[in-house]
Amino acid sequence: MESARAPQPPVDHAGGDELLATCWTTAGDAAPSREDWRSPVPLKERIEAAAAAGFTGFGVLAVDLAVAEREHGLSGIQAMLADNGLVHLELEGLPDWWGTGPARARSDELRRFMLTAAEALGARHLKVTPDTSGAPWEAGHWASEFALLAGQAAAAGARLGIEFLPWSNIPTAREALRLVEDAGHPAGGVVVDVWHVERAGTPATELAELPANRLVGVELNDADVEVVGTLFEDTVDRRRYCGEGSFDLAGIITALRATGWAGPWGVEILSTEHRRLDVRQAAAHAAAAARELLATTSVPR
């Protein structure tokens, strides 16, 4: 089934930098703090909003993709992405990928769908997150499970990135890289969200030491100096658009460019204010702020 929307003309990207709208940037009134994470905005509308804002990449949760797949089929979704010039696809939302028992069985069912979708849609990468439960964990087991999933992602034509979270068992870029290196699979790598870099107190210079072959994704955003509530509450409800907060974004971007990273640059905005906006307004603001930041940040020579 083809999208009814005509192909959109390309948007001129400042400095040649490409942007990827991560899942929450176009999700509308949805948040990971809620029991039901699903976006109320139809996938077609989200894709068109991202394209209109000049994004060439798009991120989506597996649960939202499954809803759209029932309506459009994977071939229909692929057509919508192609019609709108979205060439970089990020899939995420796989809980308990390291687990056992019933939770792992449910996770594996979702994993099969994600891998099938990744291959059918030509996904750039799959993104996973660590354990935030505080339960004991074994590094060797995690490395083995990460290697298994990375191999499956590679078989589907994609890479696998882990996003470190300061309140999890993988709290920093250094810990994420250790897991990836221990796993040892060439398709595995790290997703760097600048919010987690800043809130974990990681110096920008440390990011410049990340091996280029282990950097799978980057996510840009901003926030105030002070954390309000828990780290989780602050990250879900109080992020700001790039350049509208306190983060050393210029330093972080310069460090990441020093690794050889050239994009696509993810833009991940979660906030109460962002969720209140029409999805086209939200995507446009997120893209414009990120593009201005990238255009004014020097490229290492």
Res. 15: pLDDT tops 70: no
Mean pLDDT confidence for 179-205: 96
Determine the pLDDT at residue 301.
52
Determine the pLDDT at residue 297.
86
Determine the pLDDT at residue 298.
62
Res. 3: pLDDT tops 50: no
CATH topology classification for 14-295: TIM Barrel (3.20.20)
Mean pLDDT confidence for 101-121: 98
Determine the pLDDT at residue 44.
98
Mean pLDDT confidence for 238-260: 96
Mean pLDDT confidence for 6-16: 41
Residues near 62 by beta carbon (within 8 Å), at least 6 away in sequence: 91, 92, 93, 94, 110, 113, 114, 117
Q: Could you tell me the residue ranges of all domains in the chain?
A: 14-295
Mean pLDDT confidence for 236-248: 97
pLDDT band at 16 (very low <50, low <70, confident <90, very high): confident
Determine the pLDDT at residue 300.
53
Q: Assign residue 55 a region (left: φ > 0; alpha: ψ between -120 and 50; beta: otherwise).
A: beta
CA distance 108 to 114: 10
CA distance 77 to 37: 20
For 47, counting Cβ atoms within 10 Å of its Cβ (0-12 exposed, 13-18 middle, 19+ buried), the class is buried
Rounded mean pLDDT of the chain?
93
Are 290 and 265 in contact, with CB atoms under 8 Å apart?
yes
pTM of the model: 0.93
